[in-house]
Structure 1
């Protein structure tokens, strides 16, 4: 990862979401990107030029654009049509982003479009976040990493975030997934946690 001082940056065409530029690099804002926050508060796999990434919950492409600055290709899955319009514009300027309009809970719909990936990243605001990432683990190569950005309030607003966090860890581990890192993303994102895993197939 590239840092200028203590600031996380990426190289590539700027202007995706009004981000600052620093010495010709794009500042990767941790308040706008949970992945950037994880790189600052926890431990996360390095993004490398030969990596292939499956990104679930791509939204309008803010974080996707930074990931694409580092890796070979990003398969960016988004279900909502309005943010997909923004994602398509981001993909137009970065030839290594493959936008896919699909529901991440049904990976069979986009399986013909996605190859085996080194990193599976999930940032989907749905109650069954753990189940979605488990279903999509079929795309992850052995020894690859899985990052689940847990939005605890989206899973169960009635439960304390700490309980939702622990329940999610239990679901993942019971499915044979190995937890490498689990951390809250405060002060950048409240009631959000990151879970970094590895996987041995089959799940």
Structure 2
């Protein structure tokens, strides 16, 4: 990956990202909680992890160290990169680079996470305080597309977690289904996220909702799913593309309007990037 990496997210604008579907992504996002959801951890180690593992890739020494977001890692080498531990070693999802690190007699494979193809990766590099997605978590992903970011969320939550991936497009849905054949912690749901009652029998209560649906009624869509599937104390993360909501208003006005809509739905946004 050509872009450099700063542990605090420098080098990537905090207000921008790039989406799974190609083209420039949303100009903002929100994280928040529901019910008893607490605030964010502040302070602490925002930079490098405490320990790293050295490995060898094509004769070049690299080191992988944990990021402050659990389940996310930094690969240090000639070019630093954000990576996740590959749940299915030997398999790439979208042509991303992979690196193997020796740990004793075992080898651990990591996948490069391209922030130009994932709004969540861009948010992490932009310095977002919390993503609420961690090993063992149950995640409802709205707007899964072909599964680029979903695959990395699958890596993060690991074999003890689940990713319910909702996508309306049947074409993207086919890619998602093929992805789930190899990644057994992904449950693809090919349905319109506006109608959670149509798939309520498939999804249990979740810890986190991540939404990237790029629709004018995005907040309403998230609220409907949150009321149905999000546990008390759970969290949501929304990627908002202002132009998709109101192309005539400024981004700041759109974000302020969306915050009000969330509050009316008893959703409590805690952070904006």
Indicate the TM-score class for this superposition, using the shorter chain for normalisation: 0.7 to 0.9
| Runs of 5+ unmatched residues, structure 1 | 184-203
Aligned counterpart for 2:266 among listed residues 153, 158, 176: 176
Alignment TM-score, normalising by the size of structure 1: 0.85
Cα contact 1:38–1:44 (8 A) shared by 2: no
- Write out aligned runs for 1:89-168 (5 A): 89-138=178-227, 139-168=229-258
CA contact (8 A) 2:132 2:235 kept: no
From 98, 120, 128, the equivalent of 1:35 is 120
Which is bigger in relative contact order (C-alpha 8 A, separation at least 6)? 2
CA contact (8 A) 2:92 2:98 kept: no
Structure-2 residue corresponding to 1:190: none
Shift of 1:50: 1.5
- Equivalent of 2:170, from 75, 81, 96? 81
Question: Which 5+ residue runs of structure 2 have no aligned equivalent?
Answer: 1-71, 101-108
Alignment correspondent of 1:50: 136
Residue correspondences, number: 183
Q: Residues 93-114 of structure 1, C-alpha deviation per residue, up to 9 Å, x if partnerless?
A: 1011000011001111111110
Secondary structure of 1:172 counterpart: helix
The structure number with the bigger radius of gyration is 2
SS in 1 for 2:122: helix
Which stretch shifts more, 98-107 or 165-174? 165-174
SS of match in other structure, 2:201: helix
Instruction: Give the TM-score normalised by structure 2.
Output: 0.64
Check whether the contact 1:152–1:165 (CA below 8 A) recurs between aligned residues. yes
| Cα deviation digits, residues 24-48 of structure 1 (max 9, x gap) | 3101111100011111112223432
1:63 aligned residue (135, 149, 152)? 149
4+ long deviations beyond 6 Å: none
SS at match of 1:153: helix
What secondary structure sits across from 1:112 in the alignment? coil
